Structure 1
Amino acid sequence: MVVIPVQQRDNVSNYQSLRSLFEKNITVNSISEVLATCNVSDDAQQIRDQMVFKDYDVIGVEENGMVIGYVLRDDLGEGTCKEYIYSFSPPELVSDSTPLLQTLFIFKNTERLFIIEGNRITKVVTLADLQKPPIRMLLFGVISLVEMHLYRIISEYFPEDSWKNHLTAKRIQLAEELFLQRKARNEAIQLSDCLQLCDKRDIVLNEQPLRERLGIESKSKGKDFFKKLEILRNNLAHSQDLNTQNSWNEMFSLIEQTEKFLEECEKI
Structure 2
Amino acid sequence: MIRRLTKNDHKLLFSLLKEEPSFNLFIIGDIESFGYDADFQDIWGEFDENGTLNAVLLRYYDSYIPYARTSFHMEAFAQLIRQTSTSSFVLSGKSEIVEQFEHVLPLGNKRVTYFCECQTDKLATGTENIDIKKATLDDVDRIIALRQSIAEFTTTPRAREMLAKGLETNTSRTYYIEEDGKMVASASTTAENSLSAMIVGVCTEEAYRQKGYASAIMKKLIQDLISEGKTLCLFYDNPKAGNIYKRLGFRDIGTWTMYL
TM-score calculated relative to the size of structure 2: 0.24
Between structure 1 and structure 2, the one with the greater Rg is 1
Report the structure, 1 or 2, having the larger helix content: 1
TM-score calculated relative to the size of structure 1: 0.24
Bigger relative CO (Cα 8 Å, ≥ 6 apart): 2
Report the structure, 1 or 2, having the larger strand content: 2
